[in-house]
Structure 1
């Protein structure tokens, strides 16, 4: 996996000697992260001297970020090939966590973005207190890290709700019944109680699950520079990627796609409004399929029924596809993305959603003729948000290795 398709870069102030070295560490590691390189090749690509690159490489090796992999690939030049430098698969890892309405997840990836441990536990978190959920999540994280054998550099949580720019507070998650939950403050004591005091000291970030799924699409699945990522679990969310970067909005709330009105006179939503997309293309699809009282993973339930030829389930999913297409057409007309990507639970349900979505998009997109090829399905599927959480941690390390000891 190429976890560094484009370096995030550093915020640079006055160019002190220490600041310049830190910036150069990031420059060198960013080049190595794209593909193994010899010291001479790194020098040629960065414009740094060979002596400077050698000094920086030795520090990166000492910090367990880089390893010598053996002879570099032939360059066509006369002389012995140099030694290739690559990311250390045993170096600092990225730890991701996911709090879903019907599941919990934990993932560890190495510096190359390769999954070293994956945990998922089916559990209904709807209406549970945050402390109880965090206790279960802490056990999952502890076991995942133990399996991976890596030392995480940080932890990112994917959550099904609004996480503003104020720093790690889940301000509202209607499907969990949570409001104003300080996620890191809730998780740290649970990690200590689970015997993972070292994990309790990690930097903790949090983001909306759709945002992280969209970023994973960009980082790991060769996504375009501009796209709309639409996903579903209990609710419906979206990530808007513009110029390769996530569009967050002024307060961090961009992407609340599930609360776009598609039928203003429709049923009341948990958010208090009427006719939201979530009432037609989220968990409420069970109602249209005649399974309103069924609890659990609605995506898997409907997919299995549709695969078995169940007509009510297929009709309900066709209706969801129509509602999704209507809402997506408005977003396409407004934003003109290169693609609309179905991720999360929608990737599993795509065979029954796509026909109606295509019909609505073709009828409603007016900015330019619509092509069915612009509506795609994520290959990451429901793994996207958790992968995005974990990979985001190692990308931050590669973008600023000076954050670790030795920088």
Structure 2
């Protein structure tokens, strides 16, 4: 996917930088970067108009950003403008790149995204990660990170940092996975198991998926609940263009909202959780397409690939072909999802619910029952349900873009070679 690397509604523009003369300079550098990323190519005069600084001040900032390799001069602006044409500025395609990585239950993936939003390198590996020790999983992930960084560096691009998406709870402002039931991980600090040298961010995969939807989707509202699924089900809430993380960073555990409190046991320790009715393993069981391993995972999958992507495609193909058992399983999953979403919609009143991940492929058969439950249970509230524009790549792209956007937010923090 190629997309401009900016928030079309809101730029952070150096938020959080100290309120000093140096902090003001860094904020202004960020404002210039965001203006060019959002509206570019632009002349210096046009940048000055967008951000409300003098042309002389903008020229000084632009010269610094050009020397840092973050902006390029493209030559005179297009004809038709009044007065002498200025030199058009664009975000450099040869600046730093953000490295994003995803740890899935059955796959690992890494990609590099440049400041223009283009994917410059990518690597993936199918890997059965459920109940594996974190050390070998992260060793494999580190090898993919090195491969992608090497490909980026061959193009003259330096990595600015690494962000990792995981299917579990991540303690806020840390790199520690507190609990990932579908991996079998508890209290794992990824910074101790991944190679150093790059700034590291770790977050829940649903959070990164929601950020990708916010940043890259053409029609995403500022307030929405993003629901994604692989083996498990996660959610993230975006309010006024920002993630609602919760006090500990654990907001959005939709998959472990009880649908039927007396239902089957869940790996999280609860009973009757949504994942036991609408998680991938539950849907495949109900559809007659495979056995189970543990409470929610897959074992003998009846000839299906170990790839979650392929399994969801098979479900979609069979449903489209009219397989009534598959359709009934998906409808029941949609109803359970609607019940779980009811509380969130009534409490938080989002503009929309967005279905991402594997759910995006299965939406035609999930949505009727889901929307019916929401309609009957949300006290007349209007909340549209729509399918993600990003699809299963959301967590990976959100992770990579989060690093690249951090460069726009604080371009002064970029050192030679693209690192921070």
Name the count of aligned residue pairs: 391
Which range moved further: 58-67 or 281-290? 281-290
Shift of 1:74: 4.9
**2:212 paired residue number:** 216
Contact 2:171 2:249 in 1 (8 A): yes
Structure 1 runs of 4+ aligned residues shifted over 6 Å read: none
Shift of 1:247: 0.2
Partner Cα distance (2:222, 2:259) in 1: 28
Contact 1:329 1:364 in 2 (8 A): yes
User: Unaligned stretches of 5+ in structure 2?
Assistant: 293-299
Question: Residues 126-157 of structure 1, C-alpha deviation per residue, up to 9 Å, x if partnerless?
Answer: 11111111121122222223333321101100
**2:251 paired residue number:** 254
Contact 1:333 1:367 in 2 (8 A): no
Which range moved further: 393-402 or 128-137? 128-137
Q: Structure 1 residues 165 and 68, CA, compared in 2 at 3 Å: closer, same or farther?
A: same
**2:26 paired residue number:** 22
Contact 2:213 2:390 in 1 (8 A): yes
**1:385 paired residue number:** 395
Alignment of 1:32-51 (within 5 A): 32-36=36-40, 37-51=42-56
**1:71 paired residue number:** 76
**2:119 paired residue number:** 115
SS at match of 2:29: helix
Contact 1:161 1:174 in 2 (8 A): yes
Contact 2:17 2:26 in 1 (8 A): no
SS at match of 2:332: helix
Alignment of 1:292-311 (within 5 A): 292-293=291-292, 294-295=300-301, 296=306, 297=308, 298-311=311-324
Partner Cα distance (1:152, 1:44) in 2: 32
Alignment of 1:235-314 (within 5 A): 235-283=232-280, 284-290=282-288, 291-293=290-292, 294-295=300-301, 296=306, 297=308, 298-314=311-327
SS at match of 1:330: helix
SS at match of 2:356: strand
Question: Residues 296-318 of structure 1, C-alpha deviation per residue, up to 9 Å, x if partnerless?
Answer: 32433423332343222221111
Question: Residues 279-308 of structure 1, C-alpha deviation per residue, up to 9 Å, x if partnerless?
Answer: 011122222122224343243342333234
Shift of 1:379: 1.5
SS at match of 1:344: coil
User: Unaligned stretches of 5+ in structure 1?
Assistant: 189-199
Question: Residues 155-211 of structure 1, C-alpha deviation per residue, up to 9 Å, x if partnerless?
Answer: 1000000001151101111111111111122111xxxxxxxxxxx301010100000
Question: Residues 240-270 of structure 1, C-alpha deviation per residue, up to 9 Å, x if partnerless?
Answer: 0000000001110000000111111111111
Partner Cα distance (1:56, 1:63) in 2: 11
TM-score by length of 1: 0.92
Contact 1:35 1:86 in 2 (8 A): no
**1:105 paired residue number:** 109
| Residue 131, structure 1, aligned to residue 135, structure 2 | yes
| Residue 151, structure 1, aligned to residue 158, structure 2 | yes
Question: Residues 203-241 of structure 1, C-alpha deviation per residue, up to 9 Å, x if partnerless?
Answer: 010100000000110000031100000011111000100
Q: What is the root-mean-square deviation in Å for CA atoms of aligned residues?
A: 1.7
